[in-house]
Structure 1
Amino acid sequence: MFKSTSPHLEKQTARLYYLDWLRVIAILGVFLFHAVHPFDLTPWHIKNAEQSTAVTVFIAFMFPWGMPFFFLLAGAGSYFALRRRTAVAFARERFNRLLLPFIAGSILLMPVMLYFEWRHKLETGLLTSSFREFLLDRNVGFTPIWFGALGYH
């Protein structure tokens, strides 16, 4: 199935479309997971006045599977990518494709997200601390990084 011209790198490989479709399903699942969070019964940055037990059950079901599924897909993708390129080329590609957009998105989007979160808390009376305390007690701008350390974001 795979033919290698080098003992270390394989040049020609067939595309595994099922991995692409699994990624599409995973991304749609993440979108849905975050889109319904304002309607569940758990704490979240912005909450709707009406909340649903059914949505909470959906969130509870999705939560333990989401990140492990992404790690599985990332591992499979990395395995196949490393068959076609060196580790240095792989690291450079991942840096350009993942880290740079993450940094740019954090700088450009996190302030907007924090603005809406604070506006919601002010409007609903949920603001219990000063902005200074919020900045000192919370990692502002890189909240997804804390997912692994804290188990939530």
Structure 2
Amino acid sequence: MQTKTCRLAYLDWLRALAILCIFLFTAARSFTHSDKIDYIMNSSFIPLLFFLSGATSLHMALKRNNTRMILLWIRRLLAPLLTGLFLLLPLLLCLEQPEVVHREGFASYYTTALRRALHPANWHYLWVVVCLAFYMIMMTPLFRWLRTASARKFQQSLYWFVSGQRVYLLLLPLAVVFVTGLLTGASGYVFVFLYWWLLLAIGFFCMLQPGLMDSLERNRRCSLLALLTAVALVMAGHRYQAGSLVALLVEPFHAGLWVFCLTGYAKKHLDREHRLRTYVNLFAWPFYLLQQPLVIIIAGFFPDHRLSPLIVYLFVVLSTWLSAVLIFNLLIKPFVITRFFFGVKPGTPPVTTGKVVKVPMPQSDFFY
């Protein structure tokens, strides 16, 4: 394989943008329970997060053997998942029922919340982490296959999708899974699991054949036009019964068009280095884990919403972001153990030899 393994700046910026937008929509839930918020997230930024995870997993697999991939999976996904299930999610469930916690006591109800946190129906935003953990296990045979001659041939065959607008044909499996789920009445969990896995696989293959990413950049205006048309048709289908059939035919491609459009424009305009990128890359995953509990805590101070909803929303957003930054810099970043349980790569401490000199530490199979 001759695929480049260097980090691509636009993927990091795009992942930070996806997590930021998920946070903004999550904060809006405190002021409205409209299904439109969940629909927008599930059709745009959450699919983008899975697409990017598939793209970056290729670089991880090419730079590591099977043992180091397993250790990376433990640090990046399993440890944060355990932190979420046994610490953050029970806290979130306690915050959702303050009256019960006040009546029974925090210690007593926390045990109940811990049992509830292990039920899939209560996983909330941790569903993304759970699915990513399973997907990486499912991708293990694919990672091994990358180093074979057949992978090289497959990479060359993917070049057929590069010319013209053939890249959009990669969205057909999404449509098949979507329509099949509707016709067979499959379980919602099964449908979503397969749908998100296909998005991750598309991201993996787009990075396997770099020409596909170039095609997304070249067709970014076409993706934007198709996306705006799809959004208009879906909105019309939800509002008018006459357009429901058209919306049903367009909706399977909705998430894919969001992903292709944002990726194309990001590759064109965000593929540049900045001194903040390293920090943002470290901060993004802990911020995703912390944002929903912090939003509920801070929004709980405004039960009556006597102020303007916009002012309260801005206050909640800014306060949550500032609180997450403080927690990250004071409690997570300085300590190896907290870095591990929040999926943050440990730093390389300076070595003192008469004067303070930063010496690169040798790579560890566990952390790198």
1:52-97 Cα offsets, whole Å, 9 max, x none, are xxxx645532332233211111100101111111133112211122
Instruction: Report the CA distance between 1:41 and its aligned residue.
Output: 3.3
Instruction: Report the CA distance between 1:15 and its aligned residue.
Output: 2.1
Structure scoring higher RCO (CA < 8 A, sep ≥ 6) equals 2
1:74 aligns with 2:53: yes
Give the TM-score normalised by structure 1: 0.61
Work out the CA distance in 2 between the residues paired with 1:102 and 1:122.
24
Work out the CA distance in 1 between the residues paired with 2:99 and 2:45.
27
Instruction: Report the CA distance between 1:145 and its aligned residue.
Output: 3.7
Pairing of 1:1-153 with structure 2 (within 5 A): 13-42=5-34, 57-119=36-98, 140-142=116-118, 143=123, 144-145=126-127, 149=189
Identity of aligned residues (%): 30
Work out the CA distance in 2 between the residues paired with 1:103 and 1:122.
23
Instruction: Supply the RMSD in Å over aligned alpha carbons.
Output: 3.2
Retained in 2: the 8 A contact 1:81–1:90? yes
1:86-139 Cα offsets, whole Å, 9 max, x none, are 13311221112211122023211222211111126899xxxxxxx9xxx7xxx7
Amino acid at match of 2:116: V
Question: Gaps (5+ residues) in structure 1?
Answer: 4-9, 43-55, 124-130
Larger Rg: 2
Retained in 1: the 8 A contact 2:29–2:37? no
Retained in 1: the 8 A contact 2:22–2:46? no
Work out the CA distance in 1 between the residues paired with 2:100 and 2:21.
27
Instruction: Report the CA distance between 1:13 and its aligned residue.
Output: 3.7
Amino acid at match of 2:43: P
Question: Gaps (5+ residues) in structure 2?
Answer: 103-108, 132-188, 193-368
Structure 2 residue matching 1:39: 3-state secondary structure: coil
Q: Give the number of the structure whose residues are more often helix, by fraction.
A: 2
Work out the CA distance in 2 between the residues paired with 1:97 and 1:41.
32
